[in-house]
């Protein structure tokens, strides 16, 4: 059985560069890559652990407010995280942990951060973010097509 991959874009398209994750997901969906499921939402929530558990490898794509330009990729594992005042969103590590605890599924997972700059209420991404998105797509698409290893690609960002 071939590897099942999920790309999950996180962010609010109505908040300028916060829409980088969903924009990446939308662009990849148009490419109809074999064996790759695409999803997106404002934030992760606990039920996303169901779809995480149904896949062998998950890439969480999110706008990164402080990370390196134009993007970064790092492996992530299960993490308990905390409980805040109110947020209903879950973190990638929390969703992975839930998939593991609730559905007994260890999913290989990566956090793909695309550098964003402006996050106020507007639908238009900044030009710099758009440029980063194009570079991010060019980097990620070959990996999703099976050309190269995610683990090795992520390792190159740790240097």
Partner 1 sequence: METTGSKLKRVVIEPVTRVEGHGKVTLHLDEEGKLHDARLHIVEFRGFERFIQGRPYWEVPVLVQRLCGICPVSHHLAAAKAMDMIVGAEKLTPTGEKMRRLMHYGQTLQSHALHFFHLVSPDLLFGFDADPAVRNVIGVAMKHKDLAVQGVMMRKYGQEIIKATAGKKIHGTGAIPGGINKSLSLEERDGFLKGLGQIKEWAEGALALARKYTEDHLKELAGFGSFDSNHLSIVREDGAMDLYDGNLRAIDSEGKKIFDQVAPVDYLKHIKEEVRSWSYMKFPFIESLGTEKGWYRVGPLARVNTCDFIDTPVAEKERKELLQLTNGKPNNITMAYHWARMIELVHSLEKIAELLNDKDLQGSDLVVQGERRHEGVGILEAPRGTLFHHYRVNDDDQIEMANLIVSTTSNNEPMNRAVTSVAKQYFDGRAVTEGMLNRIEVAIRAYDPCLSCATHALGRMPLTVAVYDHQGKLLDRVVREGE
Tell me which residues touch partner 1 (CB under 8 A): 10-15, 17-18, 22, 40-43, 45-47, 49-50, 62-67, 78-94, 97-98, 101-102, 111, 113, 116, 119-123
Cα separation, 40 vs 128, whole angstroms: 22
Find the shortest distance in angstroms from Cβ 148 to partner 1. 23
Which residue's CB is nearer to partner 1, number 35 or number 89?
89
Comparing CB distances to partner 1, the nearer of 65 and 151 is 65
Tell me the two tokens of residue 135.
Answer: 């570079």
Within the chain, strands assigned E span: 5-10, 36-41, 57-64, 71-76, 108-115
Whole-number minimum distance, CB 79 to partner 1, in Å?
A: 6
Tokens of 143: 């990996």
Q: How far is the CB of 113 from partner 1 (least distance, A)?
A: 5
3 touches 33 (CB < 8 A): no
Q: What is the length of the chain?
A: 159
């Amino acid at each position: 059985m071939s590897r099942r991959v999920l790309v999950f874009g996180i962010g609010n398209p109505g908040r300028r560069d916060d829409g980088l994750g969903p924009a990446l997901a939308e662009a990849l969906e148009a490419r109809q890559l074999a064996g790759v499921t695409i999803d997106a939402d404002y934030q992760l929530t606990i039920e996303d652990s169901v779809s995480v558990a149904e896949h062998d490898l998950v890439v969480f794509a999110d706008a990164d407010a402080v990370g390196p330009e134009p993007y970064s990729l790092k492996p992530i594992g299960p993490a308990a995280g905390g409980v805040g005042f109110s947020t209903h969103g879950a973190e990638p590590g929390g969703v992975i942990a839930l998939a593991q605890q609730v559905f007994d599924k260890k999913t290989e997972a990566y956090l793909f951060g695309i550098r964003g700059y402006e996050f106020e209420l507007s639908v238009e991404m900044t030009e710099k973010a758009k440029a980063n998105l194009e570079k991010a797509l060019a980097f990620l698409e070959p990996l999703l097509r099976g050309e190269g290893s995610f683990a090795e690609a992520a390792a190159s960002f740790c240097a």
